[in-house]
Every structure is written in structure tokens, then in C-alpha cells.
Amino acid sequence: MLTNYNKLKGLVIRATDGEIGTVDQLYFDDQIWVIRYLTVNTGSWLNGRSVLISPYSILQVDWTSGRIDVSLTRKQIENAPDIDTQRPVSRQHEAEYYGYYGYPYYWDGPYLWGATYAPSGVVPMEASPGMIAERARDESADSHLRATDAVAGYGIEAKDGDIGHVESFVVDDETWSIRYLEVDTKNWWPGKKVLLSPAWVERVSWQESKVFVGVTRDAIKTCPEYLDSEPISREYENKLYFHYGRPPYWIAEEPKSLALA
């Protein structure tokens, strides 16, 4: 199911033995645009400390109840490696985190989630503290994780000039891929909200706070309008990809690395 990131924010996270907090923001992999973690605001629990929840642990997203159920206990979450969400999350910290929970490393394999295309159904495996520490030491300090709130507001630079800014994101809650960037063009001309696929992103300049896309301003101006109050149908997606003359992700999906400026 495709859903707007704004509808994920604020959802309650429920462990197997009680609630732990609410979704604050998301961390995504800036190479292939996949959500790697949900940042959870724990409120008064854990003295308000933010914690990371991997999609590996998600059992279901209950939209009716406004809740995400995870296969973790409150004690597991409380004792998890402390990761400062106010600073860049390094691969070393990730290795320690994944080792603690027994999750496979998503960077070990050819698919979106390492050996699998989606994170569901993964069975955790135990690892000794020594193995976890050794793996963490072997990993680099580099990180490819970006916070969604940090990228919201970035300018969109088309082939022939600026055209709008990133307003939000559309997420697939099965693979946890970012399927679309929601772009607001109203600041540039009496426009509308539109969707752009990350597959059309040529590069992201973190220094300039801009996303460069390989389509023209006119193509964006004339594309089907996105109404965030309505569900995204496959009919709408087909119209969108036909308009841009690009193959849809469900037919020809290939991981795409970003050339970072």
C-alpha cells in the first residue's frame, strides 16, 4: 500500500507488551531510497529518548487504529544500543544495532533488504557480543542515511530550471521504499502538487539543498495532479509513468545509486 509520509507521522508504535511512543520521522537510504528506520518519540517513557525501529520488526500497519505493531518487547527496546538520532547514524552503529536484534544486514546482498526484497518474514538470529563488536569494528563510519524531515523543503531542479520543492514522500509499506517525492510547485507559479519518482533523480546536492531531476519543467507542469486526500491508484500511476514516458517500478525496478554533490 502506498501512503503519504505525513500519515505515518504520529502513528502509535505498539510492542508485544504495550505502547512505546509515536512515529516522529523516517531515516532513508540515500542510495536506493528505502526507509531503514522509523524514529520513535518515546514521550515520558525512557525520559523522552528517541529510539529507532527497523521495518524488519514491523508486524502490521493498522491504519484503522492508527497504530504500527512490532515484534519487540519494551525491554528489548529499552536495552537496545543507544543511537543519537540528532547526529548521523554510522554503519558501525547500525552493525551494533542489527547484531543486537539478530537482523540480517541489509547491505549484505543484492536486493533492497540484502537477501530479500521486503523486510517482512525475517527470523532474527542470535549473535554473540564478540561477533557483534567485531562486525561493528569492520564497518566504516560512513552513513547513507538521511532524515525525511531534513530533506523536506529541498528545491527541485529540473533540466531547465527550478520548479518547486519537496513537500513530502510517498512510501510503500510492504518494501518500505520511497516510491515518490511529493513536489509542491505553488511557490513558482499558480501550480499544483505533483509526484516524481526517485528513479528520475540524477543527483542530490546536500550542500545546495537541491534535488536534480532528469525531466523538464514543462513535463512537470503538465503531469497529472497529485491529491494527497485521495489514495494513489494503479490507474493514476500508469497515467503518471505514461506521461513521462518512463517504465513503472513494478515492471522494471533496478536499484539506483545517487551521484552526491
- Separation CA 177–CA 200 (nearest Å): 15
Q: Which CATH number does the domain housing residue 133 bear?
A: 2.30.30.240
162 and 118 fall within a common domain: no
- Separation CA 107–CA 111 (nearest Å): 9
Ranges of residues in the chain whose predicted pLDDT is under 50: 132, 136, 254-261
55 and 138 fall within a common domain: yes
Q: Give the per-residue pLDDT at 124.
A: 76
163 and 110 fall within a common domain: no
Question: Is 253 a domain residue?
Answer: no
What's the half-sphere exposure (Cβ side, CA atoms, 13 Å) at 71? 16
Number of domains in the chain: 2
Q: Give the per-residue pLDDT at 64.
A: 92
Question: Is 250 a domain residue?
Answer: no
Give CB contacts under 8 A, 24+ apart, made by 76-79.
76/15, 76/101, 77/15, 77/20, 77/51, 77/53, 78/46
163 and 137 fall within a common domain: no
| The domain boundary residue, chosen from 108, 124, 146 | 146
Q: Give the per-residue pLDDT at 96.
A: 86
Question: Is 258 a domain residue?
Answer: no
Question: Is 191 a domain residue?
Answer: yes
* Phi–psi pair at 228, nearest 5 degrees: -70, -5
Q: Give the per-residue pLDDT at 127.
A: 57
68 and 130 fall within a common domain: yes
| The domain boundary residue, chosen from 146, 170, 195 | 146
Question: Is 106 a domain residue?
Answer: yes
125 and 41 fall within a common domain: yes
Q: Give the per-residue pLDDT at 82.
A: 79
Q: Give the per-residue pLDDT at 141.
A: 56
Task: Give me the domain span that covers residue 210.
Answer: 152-244
Query: What are the tens digits of pLDDT across the range 72-115?
Result: 999 999 999 877 776 777 888 888 888 899 998 888 888 899 88
Q: Give the per-residue pLDDT at 132.
A: 47
- Separation CA 23–CA 26 (nearest Å): 8
Whole-number CA gyration radius for the chain:
19
From 238, 81, 33, 261, select the one nearest 157 (Cα to Cα): 261
136 and 9 fall within a common domain: yes
86 and 133 fall within a common domain: yes
Question: Is 202 a domain residue?
Answer: yes
| Cβ neighbours around 64 below 10 Å, total | 5
Question: Is 159 a domain residue?
Answer: yes
